[in-house]
Structure 1
């Protein structure tokens, strides 16, 4: 599941280092091309909302296998697209279908002993983050030397091979919800209303990921300008710097089982704020970008793992639905960060992106300070 989380989530992030190339090929503005990344995030949020709850209602293995077929078809549509509008639609479907890793995370929590839940969730999440990082490196290099379409042809092969492995290896877990799809979706509202820690974690996650996406979706445009004059390969390679976040995901997962979660969350948010200060002051040097990326990735993943450990500890019989609420909020935040930073980039350049990213995490810190004392952090 750790390997699969990385391989599938990568589909959502291949486009980021390639946005400049796609914009030039279809003769559209950078802001227009940026909608590819935004629509992928929106699609992912919709997939989380409509597909992930089914994991509590049906056998997850069957859902996952069917989903793989849709992933392959959407990747193919993107690879052969002849205009920007086809890339928009296929980007949405890629995001919508690539939600399988968010079925793996609740499975890991459900199969774990209570004292190992945080560690195992962190392990799967570290695989997911490695997939995000490697996807940018992979697509940046392949896009620079072979072309952006070839990235997606190779992705089709990867997904097909892993789909076969899923059929053979993945354990099949019996459903825990018995009722109609309408009642299943209504139960999401029930958990939103009755679990305050879920609401607060969702707000923190949304703002944190929005800040993260504000950086990564405008980085390619930033690097194409002076003083860098760099291509998609460099944008992708900078993704490797975030490997610290993957290490943090595994380490923080173990820490959440025995440490005060409020302290971990505050430390993570402050780390992200510091990263944006560095981007603002030294963002026109590789050294500044590298240090900032490390802090941004470690901060986000630390907050994310802590949030998920809190969420999964509330109602074990509804892990998929709890994860749905949290992750839908998370990716709505990501799509907002992408959209707003794209607009800010068009108007104010790099400092516009820095302003958006900083604002998101400052609001997250304020929200946590205002409400954390009133909410039990399991």
Structure 2
């Protein structure tokens, strides 16, 4: 379904989405979303510096993702109401201030509060993605969104090795200071480059938020896609939060070695353009089954034989990243086709479910590892995509490539 829903520099068709602009969107999405993950591999450096308990240290990543989920639910829907460029820049300015404050924090409570705000303000990325979907022609929307999402996943994956390397050489505070500088540069370039988009939707903020329930109730494609990616991302976050602990304690790897491990996982980002092309060609059903099955099978090395060691973890990381990115792009391609005027809210609901799942996975990582080591972590992480796979097979397939 497509209909005029906004004014883009006078006309949607007056703006040409060039390869350069797509590349800028992809890089910016990666740079912004990376803010959510800089702390993930260095919590064992942050916690002693701020005299945090083990339980509080485990909250750093979870609170960041909870903040992101709150921002998705309460800020991103404004993309259907307010001028998008101004909304994105305002949100990014809050992110810059939060990152700078994190580099200066000296108390556990203050740092945890800032972590929540970093997550909340990083939703600027989810204002950019629907804007790109509005600019993209219908026949290429999946490919373009897939390319931009590959930038987002690269930001997630590369943030961890970069954070580990920088913290290893310059300390953890420099990580957040450098991130604030990068965000300032990205925000400046976007402010000078991206087109204005003024939605034509007329409603109050509370009416806009209230309409979210109606969208969930009337669009089974949205419900199912949100469920699948939320479960896959719970597994994804559980793995990437727990694996630095396993690599440090069990294998004695340094932060630099952990950075190299995380860098290998970035190979998974290559699935995004592939998923977009498959969706454009009408192969969402088969591609979704492949993605969910791959996420379920990713933990096989750890469960079949722990002696696979680091190599088994590498395989799990690559396959899981590949599956998570593929399923995310397939889901976005489907929900963006539902109703053009509601893309901001549809994206908000979809991404909120994803990062609620991510926060759950991150919160489970430390308790599961302390109780049963990597075997328990892998067994628990396997359950999430398995549930998604079973639900998809028996319930979701009729809606996987449909319209409501």
The interval holding the TM-score normalised by the smaller chain is: over 0.9
Distance 2:209 2:292 in 1: 31
Secondary structure of the residue that 1:8 maps to in structure 2? helix
2:81 corresponds, among 42, 47, 57, to 57
Matched with 1:180 is 204
1:171 corresponds, among 184, 187, 195, to 195
Distance 2:136 2:30 in 1: 20
2:69 corresponds, among 45, 50, 53, to 45
Unpaired segments ≥5 residues, structure 1: none
Secondary structure of the residue that 1:98 maps to in structure 2? helix
Tell me if 1:326 matches 2:350: yes
Query: Once the 2 structures are TM-superposed, how far is the Cα of residue 80 of structure 1 from its aligned partner?
Result: 1.1
Tell me if 1:195 matches 2:219: yes
Distance 2:35 2:169 in 1: 19
Which is further off, 155-164 or 252-261?
252-261
CA shift in 2, pair 1:351/1:26, >3 Å: farther
- Asked if the contact 2:285/2:400 (under 8 Å) is kept, the reply is no
1:156 corresponds, among 172, 180, 186, to 180
CA shift in 2, pair 1:283/1:271, >3 Å: farther
Matched with 2:106 is 82
Aligned residue runs from structure 1 range 207-226, under 5 A: 207-226=231-250
Deviation digits for residues 263-315 of structure 1, max 9, x if unmatched?
11111111112211123334762211111111010011111110111111111
* TM-score, reference length from structure 1: 0.96
Matched with 2:15 is none
Tell me if 1:204 matches 2:232: no
Tell me if 1:96 matches 2:120: yes
Query: Once the 2 structures are TM-superposed, how far is the Cα of residue 25 of structure 1 from its aligned partner?
Result: 2.2
Which is further off, 279-288 or 169-178?
279-288
Query: Once the 2 structures are TM-superposed, how far is the Cα of residue 375 of structure 1 from its aligned partner?
Result: 2.2
Query: Once the 2 structures are TM-superposed, how far is the Cα of residue 166 of structure 1 from its aligned partner?
Result: 1.3
- Asked if the contact 2:42/2:172 (under 8 Å) is kept, the reply is yes
Distance 2:168 2:309 in 1: 22
Which is further off, 344-353 or 117-126?
344-353
Deviation digits for residues 303-344 of structure 1, max 9, x if unmatched?
111011111111111111000110000000100111122221
* TM-score, reference length from structure 2: 0.90
